[in-house]
């Protein structure tokens, strides 16, 4: 055990004796020492919210405890875990390896970048993600035999990254010698650029092509980057032809990724393509119970339903809201109930709904498509205006309590049957056109932010 791990372990043991068990579990269990140098210990935390709370409420306690354990003053800083993973993917470049050495040594020093907290046991399965989950589990159990490549797609914060890490962790659990690497497409691009600048492309290729499993997140990032696409194409082929497993994620279906080479899109579609949709209310409630259990907290059903009902799709936001409520309850020593939850989340949930007015929806849709409000309300029927108009009517029907005639009136005196037609048409198009579905979700997000 390194010095920093030993110090942090002793520090945690003393802190655990001084604070409530639920506070210790919530705020200290997910932490670990990242670095220790010249009297400064850097502690890795899951996200910015953890960092803020630990600085404001526990930094003095941590530094005092470290001083008693180490018998000297040690300052504490906090870094965010996800940012560390992104950096280590490309900063810690592998050293040059002599040709006479076996290939394995060229990648043995490269971190897999897998997050051990993401596994299949803590992934909540519902109707919105059960197909993707089953496919991921099959790949993890039989890499390069079940589905290769596996392409997962869905909006931000729905669990794609969780499944990628879970696949990698399961494969490593079954076969510790497997050479597995998780990397974001952005980090792959940065790694490539640095390797070109330093004239170290052979070293770059040795970091990827001998792998047994390559997990690539957010592949849409390389759209429009010709050199990166070319290198990824050759990396993909090298691994695929060697019967190695590839798992790729994106925020959209392969054909909907603009400025992506056709040869890459066709390879993404050559295996299994599985989508992840926004979770339904029941799944969101189950996720909240699972997260609460992790923090050793019991949340009432009405609290879970309230939080789930106020988050439209993003699971990260769902967890963030729960953590905020738990933190507030812990720091104020108040019972975690619906009254407290509504109080804590009033600025994050209830106010969102006030932005969904007919006039506001028309304004945001017009701005999104580069139109004037008068264009949306006009009688013009050109496609560049009629589709945005129908989207606006669809959103008014979905997100306001206005009657059909009232919606029609505010669109320049349209008949209520026009509103019905528009709602049916857009509802159908969303199921067929993932790009349109993404655009509508982006508009909703803009309206919610006001």
- Residues whose CB falls within 8 Å of the CB of residue 62, separated by 6 or more in sequence, listed in order: 11, 15, 43, 54, 76
Give just the sign of the alpha carbon dihedral 137, 143, 144, 150. positive
pTM value is 0.61
Looking at residue 338, its pLDDT comes to: 92
What is the model's pLDDT at position 427?
A: 92
In the chain, what percentage of residues exceed pLDDT 90? 42
Cα distance between residue 10 and residue 101, in whole Å: 41
Nearest CA to 299 among 273, 259, 270, 329?
329
In sign, the C-alpha dihedral spanning 255, 260, 266, 267 is negative
pLDDT of residue 297: 86
In angstroms, the CA 412 to CA 175 distance is 65
Residue 278: pLDDT over 70: yes
Residue 92's pLDDT is what? 46
Among 25-29, 59-63, 143-147, the least confident range? 25-29
Q: What is the rounded distance in angstroms from the CA atom of residue 45 to the CA atom of residue 58?
A: 13
Each residue's pLDDT tens digit, 87-113:
544 444 444 444 333 434 444 444 567
Please, what are the domains in the chain?
Answer: 3-83 (3.30.300.180), 120-275 (3.40.50.300), 281-349 (1.10.8.60), 358-449 (1.10.1750.10)
Closest CA to 298 of 308, 288, 306: 288
Mean pLDDT of 190-198: 89
Comparing 97-106, 345-354, 396-405, 431-440, the range with the smallest average pLDDT is 97-106
pLDDT band at residue 313, thresholds of 50, 70 and 90?
Answer: low
- DSSP code, position 369: T
DSSP state letters, 248-286: EEESS-GGG-TT--HHHHHHHTTSEEEEEPPP-HHHHHH
Query: Which residue did the predictor score with more confidence, 414 or 101?
Result: 414
Tell me if 49 sits within 8 A of 30, measured CB to CB: no
34 neighbors 28 (Cβ within 8 angstroms): no
Task: Report the residue count for the chain.
Answer: 450
Q: At what angle do helices 416-432 and 434-449 cross, to 10 degrees?
A: 120
Mean pLDDT of the chain: 85
Residue 354: pLDDT band with limits 50, 70, 90: low
pLDDT of residue 111: 54
- In terms of DSSP bridges, do strands 32-37 and 40-45 run parallel, antiparallel, or are they unpaired? antiparallel
């Amino acid at each position: 055990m390194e010095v920093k791990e030993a110090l942090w372990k002793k520090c945690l043991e003393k802190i655990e004796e001084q604070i409530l068990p639920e506070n210790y579990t919530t705020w200290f269990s997910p932490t670990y020492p990242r670095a220790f140098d010249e009297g400064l210990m850097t502690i890795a935390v899951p996200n910015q919210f953890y960092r803020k709370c630990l600085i404001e409420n526990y930094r003095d306690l941590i530094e005092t405890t470290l001083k008693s354990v180490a018998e000297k003053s040690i300052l504490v800083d906090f870094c965010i875990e996800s940012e560390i993973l992104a950096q280590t993917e490309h900063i810690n470049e592998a050293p040059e390896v002599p040709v006479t050495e076996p290939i394995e040594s060229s990648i043995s020093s490269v971190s897999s970048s897998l997050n051990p907290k993401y596994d299949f046991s803590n992934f909540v399965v519902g109707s919105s993600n059960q197909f993707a989950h089953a496919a991921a589990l099959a790949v993890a159990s039989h890499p390069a035999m079940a589905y290769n490549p596996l392409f997962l797609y869905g909006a931000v914060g729905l669990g794609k990254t969780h499944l990628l890490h879970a696949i990698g962790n399961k494969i490593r659990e079954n076969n510790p010698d497997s050479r597995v690497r998780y990397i974001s497409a952005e980090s792959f691009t940065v790694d490539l650029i640095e390797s070109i600048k330093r004239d170290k492309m052979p070293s770059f290729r040795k970091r990827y092509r001998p792998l047994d499993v390559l997990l690539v997140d957010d592949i849409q990032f390389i759209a429009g980057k010709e050199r990166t696409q070319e290198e990824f194409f050759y990396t993909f082929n090298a691994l695929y032809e060697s019967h190695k497993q590839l798992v790729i994620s994106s925020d959209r279906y392969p054909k909907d990724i603009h400025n992506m080479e056709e040869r890459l899109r066709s390879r993404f579609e050559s295996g299994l393509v599985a989508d992840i949709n926004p979770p339904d209310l029941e799944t969101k409630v189950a996720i909240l119970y699972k997260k609460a259990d992790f923090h050793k907290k019991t949340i009432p059903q009405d609290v879970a339903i309230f939080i789930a009902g106020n988050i439209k799709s993003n699971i990260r936001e769902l967890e963030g809201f729960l953590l905020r409520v738990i933190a507030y309850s812990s720091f104020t020593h108040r019972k975690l109930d619906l009254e407290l939850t509504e109080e804590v989340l009033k600025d994050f949930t209830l106010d969102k709904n006030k932005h969904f007015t007919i006039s506001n929806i028309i304004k945001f849709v017009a701005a999104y498509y580069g139109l004037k409000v008068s264009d949306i309300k006009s009688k013009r029927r050109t496609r560049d205006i009629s589709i945005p108009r129908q989207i606006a009517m669809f959103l008014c029907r979905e997100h306001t309590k206005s009657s059909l005639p009232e919606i029609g009136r505010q669109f320049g005196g349209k008949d209520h049957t026009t509103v019905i037609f528009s709602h049916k048409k857009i509802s159908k198009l969303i199921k067929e056109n993932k790009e349109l579905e993404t655009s509508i979700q982006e508009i909703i997000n803009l309206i919610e932010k006001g």
